[in-house]
Amino acid sequence: MHYGVVLLWATQLIEVQQNHMATMSATAAARKFVENDAQESVSEVNRQPLPEFHTGSESKIGIRNLNLTIGNNHILKDVSVEIPHKKITCIVGPSGCGKSTLLKTLNRLIDNVENVKVEGSIEVDGEDIYGKKVEITHIRKKLGLVSQRPTPLPMSIFDNVSYGCRIHGIRKKKVLAQIVETNLKAVGLWDEVKDRLHSPASALSGGQQQRLCLARGLAIEPKFILGDEATSALDPIASKLIEDLFVGLKENYGVVLVTHTLRQALRIADHVIFMYLGEIIESGPAKELFHNPQHPLTKQYLSGVFS
């Protein structure tokens, strides 16, 4: 089998396993969540910076005339916007307006949806990720996604963090151990788990699992981190930890977050994209958009006329 096919298969396997785990472990996760909650609430984020992998501050995502349909449903309508590197871009808008779909088109997770048709272009560093010769695994390496619910794989903490690297061919134990340590430190989890790296990841609390998933995503050295309501399933303390991590990560990465509350976007966004019924109504620097919205729909959304 061709190497690329193996990688593609393995990446899809992660997604399938993630979905499976999300469903199967809901009850167990809820139980552990309660058990570990107290432990996590006293732990502070002790994040240590990652080495700077990517220097190009000119790096960006450029979306042009993106139209997406699923069957006869026109879900994204002529979306054009630029997303900067080393900033936090928050995508906001009422439920069902296409935020998650837009995020999934960015790392081609949308390919897994039946009857989907994508037109237009999405360039990451000048490379069209929907180009004919592009390998999906190559794209997903550039854009790591953190889902709404933590989705640890059914394996140890160590194996979770090193999973993507092993798929990408890193085998040396010493190298993997270093990657695991660096990335667990980057999400402030090292001190909490260093003595039980080979225990199942499922024993961690919900917040710890979400940080583990973030560490797993960081381990493959993406350029952009995508988060789809990544804090919405967590208690306020765990949620704040993850939020603080995203803020720290923008030193080295582009961070794109679908946020479940406007308050979160107000706290952390550098740039904001406001969507409504599949269209981008307004986008721009957070201060301008929040303090001086131009479009009547943005004004209504910000003032709580609809949510």
CB of 150 to Mg ion, least distance (A): 16
**Per-residue CA distances from 2 to 9, 153, 305 (Å):** 11, 25, 54
By beta-carbon proximity to Mg ion, the closer residue of 157 and 269 is 269
Asked whether position 231 contacts Mg ion by CB under 5 A, the answer is no
- Neighbouring CB atoms inside 10 A of 42's CB total 7
Q: Which is nearer to ligand ADP, 213 or 273 (CB)?
A: 273
Give the residue from 306, 304, 289 showing the smallest Cα distance to 89.
289
Single-letter amino acid, residue 17: Q
Q: Which two tokens stand for residue 272?
A: 């904001």
Which tokens go with 89?
Answer: 């871009």
Query: Residue 124 CB, nearest distance to Mg ion (Å)?
Result: 22
CB of 215 to ligand ADP, least distance (A): 25
- Residues near ligand ADP, by CB under 6 A: 70, 73, 75, 93, 95-101, 113
Q: What is the DSSP string of 181-211?
A: HHHHHHTT-HHHHGGGTTSBGGGS-HHHHHH
**Nearest distance in Å: CB 278, ligand ADP:** 7
The item of ligand ADP, Mg ion, none sharing an interface with residue 4, based on CB under 5 to 8 Å by kind, is none
Could you tell me which residues come within 8 angstroms of residue 42 by beta carbon, excluding any fewer than 6 positions away?
Answer: none
Q: Are 60 and 262 contacting, i.e. CB atoms less than 8 angstroms apart?
A: no
The reply on whether position 105 binds Mg ion by CB under 5 A is: no
Dist CA 143 CA 139 (whole Å): 6
Distance CA 263, CA 244 (A): 14
Q: How far is the CB of 66 from ligand ADP (least distance, A)?
A: 13
DSSP character at residue 203: G
Cβ-proximal residue to Mg ion, closest one: 100
Residue 11 or 100 with smaller CB distance to Mg ion:
100
Query: Is 100 one of the binding residues for Mg ion (CB under 5 A)?
Result: yes
* Shortest reach from residue 277's CB to Mg ion, in Å: 14
Choose the stretch contacting Mg ion; rule: CB under 5 A; options: 80-88, 92-100, 160-168, 289-297: 92-100
Give CA–CA dist 130/135, Å, rounded.
9
Q: Is 190 or 274 the residue whose CB approaches Mg ion more closely?
A: 274
Q: Which is nearer to ligand ADP, 99 or 211 (CB)?
A: 99
Residue ranges in contact with Mg ion by CB under 5 A: 100
